[in-house]
Structure 1
Amino acid sequence: MEPVIDQAFAATLYTDDDAGLDTGASLLAAAPTADAELVRRGEEFVRRAWERGWLPADVVRVVRRDLDEHAAGLAAGLIAAEVRRYPELPPRWRSQLDELPAAPPWGRPDRFSYASALLGLYRLLLALPVIEPVGPPPGAAREALYRPPVAGEPRMLTRIRALLAKAEATGFPEEAEALSAKAQELMARHSIDEALLAARTHGDRTPGACRIGVDAPYETAKAILLDAVASANRCRAVWNSDFGFTTVVGFEADLEAVELLHTSLLVQGTAAMTRAEAGQRAGGRKRTKTFRQSFLMAYAQRVGARLADGTARATAEADAEGGAGGGAGAGSGLLPVLAARDLAVGDTAEKMFPRTTTTRVRGATDLDGWNHGTRAADRARMGGGTPEIRG
Structure 2
Amino acid sequence: MTSTTSSTVERAFRAALYAETDTALDTGASLLAADPAADAELARRGREFVAAAWRRGWQPADVVRIVRRELDDVHVHLASALIRAQAPDDRRRGPRWRAQLDELAEQAADTPPRTDRFTHATTVLELYRVLLRLPTLEPLEEHESTATRQPRPESRMLTRIRALLAKAEATGFPEEAEALTAKAQELSARHSIDEALLAAQAPSPDAPGACRIGVEAPYEQAKAVLLDAVATANHCRAVWNEPLGFSTVVGFEADLEAVELLHTSLLVQAMHAMTKAEAAQRAGGRKRTKTFRQSFFAAYAHRIGTRLAAAAETQVTDDLLPVLASREVAVTAHTDRMFPQTTTTRLRGVTDEAGWTQGAEAADRAQVGARPRLP
Question: TM-score, normalised on structure 2?
Answer: 0.89
1:141 aligns with 2:122: no
Distance in 2 separating the partners of 1:291 and 1:112: 45
Structure 2 counterpart of 1:322: none
Distance in 1 separating the partners of 2:109 and 2:29: 19
Structure 1: where are the runs of 5+ without partners?
Answer: 320-330, 383-391
Distance in 2 separating the partners of 1:129 and 1:315: 41
User: Aligned partner of 1:340: which letter?
Assistant: S
1:15 pairs, out of 7, 14, 19, with 19
**8 Å Cα contact 2:222/2:347 also seen in 1:** no
Structure 2 counterpart of 1:343: 329
Structure 1 counterpart of 2:372: none
**8 Å Cα contact 2:250/2:331 also seen in 1:** yes
**8 Å Cα contact 2:199/2:323 also seen in 1:** no
Structure 2 counterpart of 1:280: 281
Task: Report the count of equivalent residues.
Answer: 362
Counterparts in 2 of 1:343 and 1:87: CA distance versus 1, 3 Å: closer
Distance in 2 separating the partners of 1:89 and 1:144: 5
Q: Which stretches of structure 1, 4 residues or longer, exceed 6 Å deviation after superposition?
A: 103-107
**8 Å Cα contact 1:230/1:237 also seen in 2:** yes
Percent of paired sites with the same residue: 65
Structure 2 counterpart of 1:81: 85
Structure 1 counterpart of 2:230: 229
1:48 aligns with 2:36: no
Instruction: Give the deviation of 1:309 after TM superposition.
Output: 3.1
In the TM superposition, what whole-angstrom CA distance separates every residue of 1:110-143 from its partner, at most 9, and x where no partner exists? 111110111111111111111001123xxx3375
Structure 1 counterpart of 2:156: 155
1:357 aligns with 2:343: yes
Question: TM-score, normalised on structure 1?
Answer: 0.86
1:68 pairs, out of 49, 66, 72, with 72
**8 Å Cα contact 1:173/1:380 also seen in 2:** no
**8 Å Cα contact 2:92/2:147 also seen in 1:** no
CA RMSD of aligned residues (A): 2.2
1:301 aligns with 2:302: yes
Structure 2: where are the runs of 5+ without partners?
Answer: 369-375
Distance in 1 separating the partners of 2:298 and 2:101: 32
Distance in 1 separating the partners of 2:111 and 2:309: 48
Structure 2 counterpart of 1:193: 194
Instruction: Give the deviation of 1:220 after TM superposition.
Output: 0.7
What is the correspondence of 1:301-320 to structure 2 with a 5 Å cutoff?
301-316=302-317, 319=318
1:211 aligns with 2:212: yes
User: Aligned partner of 1:307: which letter?
Assistant: L
Structure 1 counterpart of 2:130: 124
SS of the counterpart of 1:134? coil
Distance in 1 separating the partners of 2:115 and 2:223: 37
Instruction: Give the deviation of 1:285 after TM superposition.
Output: 1.6
Structure 1 counterpart of 2:35: 31
User: Aligned partner of 2:189: which letter?
Assistant: A
SS of the counterpart of 2:218? coil
Structure 2 counterpart of 1:327: none
**8 Å Cα contact 2:94/2:151 also seen in 1:** no
In the TM superposition, what whole-angstrom CA distance separates every residue of 1:124-168 from its partner, at most 9, and x where no partner exists? 1111111001123xxx33753535537xx5111012112222332
Counterparts in 2 of 1:27 and 1:106: CA distance versus 1, 3 Å: farther
